Chains A and B, each alone.
Chain A
């Protein structure tokens, strides 16, 4: 058995003393709340009368509910499948371009990053105006599409807004990764006669692999949790065409949507998981 020296012990105590305020708050308001919602999800609790044990019925209701299978699951998967690759590729291209010695490089770096420091609520409202039937997008393109009130265009519109607003953050991460790649490698490649495209393909991309992994992971977490823009722009509509599962949790659990009170609980539990998956930690956007 290893003996813990007095010094180590003292260091631990000091560390926990510093951590205590945060652990206390997190423990009560996040961890405990999560455990409670996990327990409530197996009961009949409806906020009015004391909970009674129910078992997995709430979960079965969620899984069998048409809103979940017909709308929330496919919409969320579609959303992730489109947004993650597009924003990853776009941000990599932007980062690569802005890593070159361009004129007004700082201006472009700032411009591309700006959406990431703008409130998603503000972005949502601005895009509602841009995509309005009489809005700028329609006027520029000479179209008469009601983007947000059409079941075929509503989800793609939300995708566009999110790609636009997150690409900047991801670009910044790529940019940091690019600047970690030693200049000698490009020099060596140049001596071997590699073209710009070849350098990108055979030097940049392989060396960026850990960064790409990070960006894709962040992207997947963030897109599975998409909520703000949907709340601001479409409220899950029209006809549930932008109903994703986090929005469904809100719709059932908070907004008092249509499922019975039992499903609200299922909703609340999922909301707990959603918390746990790292709404607070991992994702710097959404």
Chain B
């Protein structure tokens, strides 16, 4: 629709595709409109508003977001006599609990899928990054990434974690629902899935465990952006401002659909009463946007395959991630 100039005045913009759209110049910078309407960047969670900033300009008003939380199966924890996870957990706690559960119940304690939407948080928790700050180079072969990958893939090798394919499913959420794994890192989307497919599953959720360099998380977010071709950008902006207003976000939050992008809502009753929503909302504080620049797809595929090579072909973590970094660099040079 954008190619033919018939796109709507404003639309949903996913963070993963955002760099491509911003770089192609099809989005309207919103800073002037925001200033005029008295909408400040400070009203939104920093991670989110920064994510939709490109070359110093704001191109989208964050609408909602998700982060990863550590979901745990309470029955399996009870059965193994292990205490439930807390927000203060570390990698060592994760490993100890997962090992105890695997031993006591025969069900794997944790899941380490070859998934570029999960693995990076271990890199962040280890003080690393996937890409350099300007996305001009990848850090997939840096010591921080290799250490994180060694811990991550080592979990399966040491027998306290599985990949979903080991239990015959494609997604760890399904394994969790079936009770084939005790803990998974998933986002808020797991909640409606469990309540419709596995309504009997009793679970809780806390922040992902901290690594040697502290906490780290991924944030998946969408914004509303205005088209550069809009005939009436002012009206489009007004509409966005209305949809993302505090009042409307509170309604969306209370309906259970999505988490609000505004700081003012962090004390909303709904969040205080809902353990899972709160874990996911507060997770944003330590989170990095799920976005790797213009070659995001290449980076994602390279990361997934680097993990798969370790799992399926027994390649060393170092060789596999060095190869992944080379693939990304080749694409960046194109």
Contacts and interface: CB of A to CB of B under 8 A. Distances in A.
Contact residues on B (Cβ < 8 Å of other chain), bracket: 20 to 34
Give chain A's interface secondary structure class.
Answer: loop
Contacts of A260: 331, 334
A47 B2 contact: yes
A49 B166 contact: no
Contact of B301 (A128, A132, A257): A257
Contacts, number: 60
B116 to A, nearest CB: 11
A239 B313 contact: yes
A257 B295 CA distance: 10
A210 to B, nearest CB: 44
Given A47-B3, A49-B24, A129 B168 contact: yes
B21 A146 contact: no
B53 interface: no
Nearest to B16: A256
A240 B302 CA distance: 12
Contact of A151 (B295, B298, B300, B312): B312
Contacts of A177: none
Contacts of A258: 295, 297-298, 300-302, 327, 331
Contact of B305 (A49, A239, A259): A239
Nearest to B5: A50
Nearest to A138: B168
A119 interface: no
B22 to A, nearest CB: 11
A149 B312 contact: yes
B308 interface: yes
Nearest to A241: B312
Nearest to A235: B170
Contacts of B313: 151, 239
Contacts of A146: 165-166
B26 interface: yes
A274 to B, nearest CB: 22
Contacts of A133: 165-168
A198 interface: no
Contacts of B2: 47-48
| 10 cross-chain pairs, A with B, having the tightest CB-CB distances, nearest first | A132-B168, A149-B165, A258-B298, A258-B301, A48-B24, A47-B3, A48-B2, A258-B297, A239-B308, A48-B26
Interface of A: 45-50, 128-129, 132-135, 146, 148-151, 237-240, 256-260
23 contacts: A46-B24, A47-B2, A47-B3, A48-B2, A48-B3, A48-B26, A49-B24, A50-B3, A132-B168, A133-B165, A134-B168, A146-B166, A149-B165, A150-B312, A151-B312, A239-B305, A239-B308, A258-B298, A258-B301, A258-B302, A258-B331, A259-B298, A260-B331
